[in-house]
Amino acid sequence: MIMACIGLTNNNITAIIGSMLISPLMGPVVGIAFGLSISDKISIYQSFRNYVFALLISLCSSTIFFLISPFHNSTNILNDYTHPTIFDVMLAFFGGLAGFLGIIKKDGTKVIAGVAVATSCMPPLCSAGYGLANLNWQMFLGGLYFYIINSFFIGVGSQLLIRWMQLPKIIQNNDNEIQKHRLHG
């Protein structure tokens, strides 16, 4: 988050992209989608807990950064992450599809890295932290809204792909085979 804050305050695209590559924010979103798809309450709970934890840590660290840093002016790029467009929604949705494909592929780490950059989960929370630190409620709510929109459509894209691939049925069949093996083995 600190990398994203530095990048956004200095219009440094390299730092912003770097922060997105190491962002822990997309995993819990996909975890929630997967838990919902297979109706696993434990996975949903754990993923949601991780989602809230990552959200709070990200918001707290960006807010603290902007409270103690000498950067108190809002840059254009900071403001850009407070107004999601239909293109941002489309990026999040297709990013959710591609992200889940990356997770289930044997060598999907390149896909996941690309998705992390495309879906931009870190910069909106950075903008929200800036708004919180400067008591700019419009910026805070805009950044948070942008992040929630991204999270929602990443989850929707992931969940559609999970259902299309019939993973809940595959998991149920595997569980049935395991139970048969335990009973007869």
pLDDT in tens, 1-47: 888 888 888 888 778 777 776 677 777 887 888 888 888 889 889 99
Supply the pLDDT for residue 158: 78
Look at 121 and 181; give whichever has higher pLDDT.
121
Say if residue 80's pLDDT is above 70.
yes
pLDDT band per the 50, 70, 90 thresholds, residue 170: low
3-state SS track over the chain: CHHHHHHHHCCCHHHHHHHHHCCCCHHHHHHHHHHHHHCCHHHHHHHHHHHHHHHHHHHHHHHHHHHHCCCCCCCHHHHHCCCCCHHHHHHHHHHHHHHHHHHHCCCCHHHHHHHHHHHCCHHHHHHHHHHHHCCCHHHHHHHHHHHHHHHHHHHHHHHHHHHHCCHHHHHHHHHHHHHHHHHHC
Say if residue 70's pLDDT is above 70.
yes
Say if residue 178's pLDDT is above 50.
no
pLDDT band per the 50, 70, 90 thresholds, residue 151: confident
Say if residue 67's pLDDT is above 70.
yes
Q: How many folded domains does the chain comprise? A: 1
- The answer to whether residues 128 and 59 touch, using CB atoms and an 8 Å cutoff, is yes
Separation CA 104–CA 93 (nearest Å): 17
| Domain encompassing residue 22 | 2-184
Separation CA 181–CA 131 (nearest Å): 56
Say if residue 136's pLDDT is above 60.
yes
Q: Give pLDDT tens digits for 51-64.
A: 999 899 989 999 99
